[in-house]
Structure 1
């Protein structure tokens, strides 16, 4: 009974006593979230159009999509910053749409850091605990633990202005998790950072999630960020969730042309269907090249769009079985990768990415070569 009350108090954002805090174990931290037919309108514009999504306790799920797709709207509805116009949001089975933001007990990390400039790092991190009226000893201990976890202990006495952007973002994350909330919401928290720092903090956030066990809902428009960090990705477009799956599934087996084109670089080839054998489909390009590709549920009709990722295409100096000729139109050296564009004899352009190896020279524009890919390297879009 005591554990049930403590968990309910954390969910609703009520003050938690040290005694209640001690009975919470890591496997009970993350909350399950159920989003049911949620609608949000701004006049005639529908920002969230009957969105439904189940998030498992302790899951790291990313809302990924272009600007205007509805991902931040959905996060704001979950946080309580906006009111829903239809549907329901439940946390551990309890509806929260009528619970004020400060009573939901969620941790929040914003793109802008939102630190108090006149407070030290330790004071910023401890602020939620002081607002929750936690006792001084518990607050000091938890702040110290969290600063250590985020590698900020030596900066405890500094003001935000004395720190780099990456350090300030780590302070913002520390403040969001110091209460060990059951849900942490992150709204594009890394978009203001440079690439190297962003990649470093991605790893830190992923490791942090595995340590504290909170359910994390992360919003981004950066595909690599979503693929690197998530247990699952919900791809959004025009107020809808168009696919929810693990990162490898989203990348290798997208369900639509939109997902294939938005997540990663893609070669989308329009083909004619010439045969079917279970999940394998035989296809012909406009230039007459015949190849096989895998399909989730078979193909309806006599036409299909096939996805071949740039890194799945092999280069050959001359013809090999199942290859086709192509002409180099662009070749760039990217360090660890070569980025090569070719045009097929039927006029279709394909992008190829291959690792840089000592024996391979960057092919000059106009070079004739052959390319190929295997049946398992291509995917028929539904």
Structure 2
């Protein structure tokens, strides 16, 4: 078994540079804030450039299917930059969740279209669903797909749905055009509009069945999503730390830079240590998943139990240490807090992942503080 390598390769750094330059040019903070306007700003061309010109839509797709034949390590680098820019692009929902589910189910045609960037897909499961959770909500019948799925990410940007549905013999995987008969999409007003959610309903909807035994494919997609989301959370936290550090060095009060005060130094020092741990856990999760390591599930649970909280803490410190300007709508700090809070609940809560981690390493599981009442 190969040894973990948490360093970034030259190829990964080159990929990072290309993605960062695209977001710097096309996704500045004032533009991203436009997703909250009465007429939300459209970032479809940014996604098209990212997916087609940079080829990131096919990172996880084998070369023989038209993809880049890369690994979760490269996908994690892209997600770090998406987090750093809070870019409103459907990379996680299409290039990770939907693509991995289709690949594991044995699909070749739809995956090829996704890899080429010709189509964008969304996996029809709630964003909050944790790996290992039973899939319910949609039934596969002789008349088509019927049922409801709530809080699905990536639907607004998608033209194709990858739908897990319960059939006569278990969980099946179906592909549905978004404009197919019987499909209804209801956008959800959520905290983080840079990753919009929508409720889906199906009424005798025609579909193409990809697999009659899709439980493992969907579970694998969720495991991959949870492992890689940690890298996006780290990217959010990194921007918050770097921006706050630069601000406290420049902002003066009573004739001194506020960063020279001991209380500020201690808070940033604690945050820097927390980010170091987040970076290591996120990178380890991506590396172990890429290598198919036996510790991959442990690493994903560890990263998700830590990085979500770290991103929220970094965003809160960013707003507080910026003072009044941090609370304004014009300053982008609120975008990062919203993305951090939303991602903290994606693929299960931190407690859910800590409980799973305890099971994996044979430790007792404590009670969920959210469900414990005081006597």
Q: TM-score, normalised by structure 1?
A: 0.26
- Greater share of residues in helix: 2
Q: TM-score, normalised by structure 2?
A: 0.26
Structure label with greater radius of gyration: 1
